[in-house]
Amino acid sequence: MALNFMSFSLRRLLLPSVLGLSLLWGCTGGNSRSNSDPSVLRMLSWQAPTILNPHLSVGFKDWEASRITLEPLATYNSAGEMVPLLAAEVPSLENGGLAADGKSVTWKLKSDVKWSDGEPFTADDVVFTYEYLSNPQVGATSLGLYEAVDRVEALDETTVQVSFKQPNPAWSLPFVGASGVILPKHVFEDYNGANAREAAANLIPVGTGPYRVVEFKPGDVVVYEPNSHYREVETLSFQRIELKGGGDATSAARAVLQTGDADFADNLQVEPQVLAQLEAGGKGQSIASFGPLGERIEFNYTDPNRENANGDRSTLEFPHPFLTDKTVRQAFNLAIDREAIATQLYGKAGNPISNFLLAPPQYVSQNTSYEFNLEKAAQLLDEAGWKDSNGDGIRDKDGIEMQIVFQTSVTPVRQKTQEIVKQGLSSIGVEVELKSIDASIFFSGDPSNVDTAGRFVADLQMLTTGNSNPDPAIYMKTYTCGEISSPENNWSGQNFSRYCNPDYDTLWNQAQTELDPEKRQALFVQMNDLLIRDSVVMPIVHRADVVGVSLQLEGIDPTPWDRSTWNIAEWRKLEAID
């Protein structure tokens, strides 16, 4: 009975989304070819991209779409091995690329690279990218990757030297992976300041990657064609790539796995039983890869209900009335049923966790644990002085009711996670209002929108993050005082919670110059343990990155250290066989 009901519900839910998808692909650019055409790749990103400059975005959805056309100097494959892209080789002590004192790295660049507009790619573009990102007026979200850099110099047209302020074991962070893509100087040099978001190339980028953007409707569709100046253009398989945004994760999964209307869909946050039913359609398969991604709930250490003189909420001027209390946070942490969330909503694509730092293995703490204990949670709130003094079922103290707004993006899994969390918190006397925000807004870098994760105008929020590099330095920098998201940095800081602890900062600073690998690993473990011990953040699920892939599509090589499209030049689509 339950299965039949679910099937009926799915058909009713998905029909409008799939119909809209079919209509779009029948009309976009006048293209009416069926999905059997091997020269056309149809992709779904239900969390629709809104900007194609990842340095101005906080969302993986924008990075995914950008990586089809923009490239870094190098990236990491699924084995954690560095792969040169715009670089001619991987720097090492043996080839002279790495300085023995850890204070510089020298990159040799490929000499046959051109931008998609035909202009040559040179070391000056790398230097400019650093100047652009380090300009505080730009408000780059990737700035943290470059704060250890002292200067970037072009030694000649194909040689770049990156010098650090002090010995730096994390030399591979700048210009590597999805957050390290290079921008063309000749396109962006007039937008290197407060006008950075006005650049037309934020929407129609000029890149060195295999495909170029020919059409982009933010929040809707991106159309790509081969970059005729790509260094291996003759090897490309597709004459056209259509990336459709919008809809929801379930309809995206259905289009790839069951109906065959699409070839690829990323970020399939779909319950395991639903995914299995859709896979039975025989058109595609889901691929789950565990990497550094952790679904977490963040506390707001500032008051989202009080405005400063400029009308801004969630500012350091007004601390949160109860979430700054460690005992209260610990009580909330005990009220989260991680096992139920992982088992019911993620299946094989998620495991309950207690750690913030999840990869690589040598950095994962063995010192933490999680517990679901409503009785102990209620006792802690009693001890903190939060009791129901007026009999309305909600705890209060000094005239303040324990009422919270819990926000996240719109996905079936996240809304059901919210319900489980709400049930636990409500049972210990916390009134919870659930808020769901469209992903294109929630993960937007728009500093003027109060519904973004960066503004965090709520009490709790849930999202997934992880280190985009095997070196976790920048990821762990998230909770340093200097990363606090605020009006002063145009809400571009990555510390959305606005937590600040000098002890944490001290550990992080020590890790930035520690060249002994084992000692450095121990410092990151200590940082993680501090966050967990004090319930600074609530890790929920170690989440696999799940993508849907057509049985006709070959060459997909998911890596936890870049976006799925990192090697799209190698993707191939087979002829359909009836």
Q: Give pLDDT tens digits for 130-157.
A: 999 999 999 898 888 898 999 999 999 9
Give 239-298 pLDDT, tens digit per residue: 999 999 988 889 999 999 999 999 999 989 888 889 999 999 999 999 988 999 999 999
| Superfamily holding 294-543 | Dipeptide-binding Protein; Domain 3 (3.10.105.10)
pLDDT number for residue 49: 92
Which amino acid is present at 500? C
How many beta carbons lie within 10 A of that of residue 380, not counting itself? 22
Q: Is 64 helix (H, G, I), strand (E, B) or coil?
A: helix
Give the residue-averaged pLDDT of 208-237: 97
Other C-beta atoms closer than 10 Å to the C-beta of 377 total 25
- Please determine, for residue 127, whether its predicted confidence score (pLDDT) is greater than 70: yes
Question: What digits encode the pLDDT tens for the residues 407-447?
Answer: 999 988 999 999 999 999 999 999 999 999 998 899 887 88
7, HSE (Cβ side, Cα atoms, 13 Å): 10
Nearest to 304 by CA among 435, 75, 531, 457: 457
Full DSSP string of 80-104: S-EEESSBSS---TTTT-B-TTSSE
Residues carrying CATH 3.90.76.10, the chain = 70-199
Pairwise CA distance, residues 62 & 445, whole Å: 10
Q: Is 460 helix (H, G, I), strand (E, B) or coil?
A: strand
- Residue ranges, comma separated, of all CATH 3.10.105.10 domains in the chain are 294-543
Which of the residue ranges 54-58, 82-86, 107-111, 202-206 would you say has the lowest mean pLDDT? 54-58
- pTM greater than 0.95 (yes/no): no
Q: How far is CA 486 from the centre of its chain?
A: 20
- For domain 1-68+209-289+545-578, give the fold: D-Maltodextrin-Binding Protein; domain 2 (3.40.190)
CB 62 within 8 A of CB 266: no
Interior CA angle at 547 toward 545 and 553, to 5°? 140
**Token pair recorded at residue 430:** 């916390």
Q: Where in the chain is the domain with CATH 3.40.190.10?
A: 1-68+209-289+545-578
* Cα–Cα distance for residue pair 313/337, rounded to 1 Å: 30
Residue 32 has pLDDT above 50, yes or no: no
Separation of alpha carbons 17 and 49, rounded Å: 18
What's residue 215's pLDDT? 97
The DSSP bridge partners found for residue 215 are 223
Which is it for strands 40-45 and 284-289: parallel, antiparallel or unpaired?
A: unpaired
Contact 253, 270 (CB under 8 A): yes
In angstroms, the CA 316 to CA 334 distance is 27
CATH number, domain 70-199: 3.90.76.10
| C-alpha torsion sign, points 221, 226, 227, 231 | positive
3-state helix, strand, coil in the chain (%, to 5): 35, 20, 45
Question: What does the pLDDT read at residue 4?
Answer: 32
